Amino acid sequence: MLVALVGPAAAEAYLRVIAQKAPVHSGPAGSYRTVFVAERGQVFQVLERGTKDYWFKVELEDGTTGWILGDVVYPFEVGPDEAGAFTRMGRAIRRAILGPSPIVYANVGLSFSAGILDREGVFLLRPSWLIDPYWALEGFAGLSPRSDKDVFLGGLAFVLRMAPGAVIGPYASIGLGAAHIRPKADNFLDEQETLMALSAGGGFEITFKKQITLRIDARNWSLFDQNKTSNGQEYSAGLAIFF
């Protein structure tokens, strides 16, 4: 079987990941940069076998390539009738649209979202520092323009990614900051004030080709001080980039 992986039939050779997690490197050694972390059960097409040690060059879902150690994978061949028509169609659609998440090797991220907060519009900028693939510190700054006042939001949140590296990755978030409320010029009833702002919720990150990431958020916001409390729900979506 291994002879086929380095011969003319290499285009039909595949690897299945048998470890819980397997790093994919930019070159055929562990010292190269990690470009992706594969999950158990994922399958990759083999493009080449390294001339030194037990490394395989594989094609990732976004069309890029990387090297994976042979000790964490099982090599096999797939004939033309191995998968059914619907399975092949699903794989083709996934390869054409979706790609691997950059979360596993990124250090910082930046997202811009737009949606509704308490049935009013909201725009949020969220820069983040990725402590590791699971945890991140995320700042937020935004504006909810309303007919009678503007609500400015700012603060810091903790983010937990529950499936880092997945094409569709869920996450949870809790944040604390402030909300500055500024009445419009013709609003003589409300006063300018600053309240504490607490948010809790989560969402999904969906990674497409070229590492374009769509972010979908749903959160509950509580604005409060010692005298009053108000709650509102955020539903927003936007794009995120990671470096």
* pLDDT score, position 88: 64
Domain 103-242 CATH class label: mainly beta
Look up the pTM and report it. Answer: 0.67
In 3D, which of 175, 100, 166, 112 has the Cα closest to residue 134? 166
33: which DSSP letter? P
Average of per-residue pLDDT across 122-148: 95
CB-CB contact of 231 with 195 (8 Å)? no
Higher pLDDT, 224 or 88: 224
Instruction: Compute the distance between CA of residue 105 and CA of residue 103 in angstroms, rounded to an integer.
Output: 6
Q: Where are the domains of the chain?
A: 2-97, 103-242
pLDDT at 9 over 70: no
Query: Fold match between 2-97 and 103-242?
Result: no
Cβ neighbour number for residue 63 with a 10 Å cutoff: 11
Work out whether strand 43-49 and strand 213-224 pair parallel, antiparallel, or are unpaired. Answer: unpaired
* pLDDT score, position 178: 97
Higher pLDDT, 9 or 43: 43
Q: Model confidence over 74-124: pLDDT tens digits?
A: 887 755 545 566 666 766 666 667 776 778 778 899 999 999 999 999 999
* pLDDT score, position 166: 76
* pLDDT score, position 50: 77
Domain 2-97: CATH superfamily is: SH3 Domains (2.30.30.40)
Q: What is the mean pLDDT of the chain?
A: 86
* pLDDT score, position 79: 55
Average of per-residue pLDDT across 45-56: 83
In 3D, which of 63, 116, 35, 102 has the Cα closest to residue 240? 102
